Amino acid sequence: MPYSPEHKAQTRARIVESARRLFNRHGFQQVTIDQIMAEAGLTRGAFYHHFESKDELYAAAVASFAACNPFSVKVSRGGVPLDDPRRLAYMLVDLYLSDEVLDDINMHCPLYALPSDVARAGLEPQQAYTDLIRGMSEVYRCALQGASDADRRAESMVSLCVGGMVLARTTNDPGLRRSLRASARHQALALLNA
């Protein structure tokens, strides 16, 4: 008896979530399909009912972050008016560069958790990564409406946030981790307020 479409969608989502967590922790090359399926509580054979390749799963895992990231979760829980783009931009900068996000490796954004993996990946993962960059840029671009250089400033803000987190993840010096993120936050907000 075939599974229902709902069951198939739930199983696929479980695989994607397991993959996203494992890729964030270990990178694309170090994670096997067997590990992903074991983490999801499924057999390797089930993988091929949902994905044609590990690259396809990787793209889905990167894309899934758009819906499960701390910013989206916070916005969806309410309390933040979606019609206030400046407030959303401030909130994204603050949350993205926060201790809370840095300390929770399972919630690390692929933009800073996986850049070297994605650079070596196929077109599907690169497209998913590109979509995340564009989505984050759009939050800032909306807050900068009317500015003649809104695109440049929005992309600079993305670069500061992602770069601040990349560098903070690479050092074992807690003071430098804080300082790097504080500097990135300061410059990103200066671009927002200019």
Dump pLDDT digits (tens) for 22-77.
988 888 889 999 999 999 999 998 999 999 999 899 889 888 877 666 666 666 66
Tokens of 124: 């599907």
Rounded Cα distance, 178 and 194, in Å: 24
111 and 165 together in one domain: yes
66-121 tens-digit pLDDT: 766 666 666 666 655 567 889 889 988 998 999 988 998 877 888 888 788 888 87
71 and 119 together in one domain: yes
What CATH number is attached to the domain comprising 174?
1.10.357.10
Which residues lie below 8 Å from residue 172, measured CB to CB, with a gap of 6+?
none
- The string of DSSP letters for 86-154 reads HHHHHHHHHHHTSHHHHH-GGG--HHHHSHHHHHHS-HHHHHHHHHHHHHHHHHHHHHTTT-TTHHHHH
Which residues lie below 8 Å from residue 1, measured CB to CB, with a gap of 6+?
none
92 and 136 together in one domain: yes
What CATH number is attached to the domain comprising 32?
1.10.10.60
In a domain, 58, yes or no: no
49 and 72 together in one domain: no
Rounded Cα distance, 50 and 10, in Å: 11
Polymer length in residues for the chain? 194
23 and 83 together in one domain: no
Mean pLDDT, rounded, for 183-191: 97
Lowest average pLDDT, out of 44-53, 120-129, 173-182, goes to 120-129
pLDDT band (50, 70, 90) for residue 155: very high
| 6: exposed, middle or buried (Cβ count in 10 Å: 0-12, 13-18, 19+) | exposed
38 and 112 together in one domain: no
| 123: exposed, middle or buried (Cβ count in 10 Å: 0-12, 13-18, 19+) | exposed
pLDDT band (50, 70, 90) for residue 160: very high
In a domain, 26, yes or no: yes
Lowest average pLDDT, out of 108-112, 128-132, 174-178, 181-185, goes to 108-112
In a domain, 167, yes or no: yes
In a domain, 60, yes or no: no
Q: Residue 13 sits in which domain range?
A: 5-53
Highest mean pLDDT among 8-22, 86-100, 174-188: 174-188
User: Please, are residues 70 and 100 in contact by the beta-carbon 8 Å criterion?
Assistant: yes
Tokens of 109: 């954004």
96 and 175 together in one domain: yes
Residue-level pLDDT at 1: 57
Q: Give me the number of domains the chain comprises.
A: 2
171 and 145 together in one domain: yes
Using alpha carbons only, how large is the chain's radius of gyration in Å?
Answer: 18
132 and 179 together in one domain: yes
In a domain, 62, yes or no: no
93 and 156 together in one domain: yes
In a domain, 94, yes or no: yes
Residue-level pLDDT at 70: 62
Mean pLDDT, rounded, for 159-184: 96
Handedness of CA 161, 98, 138, 170 (dihedral sign): positive
187 and 99 together in one domain: yes
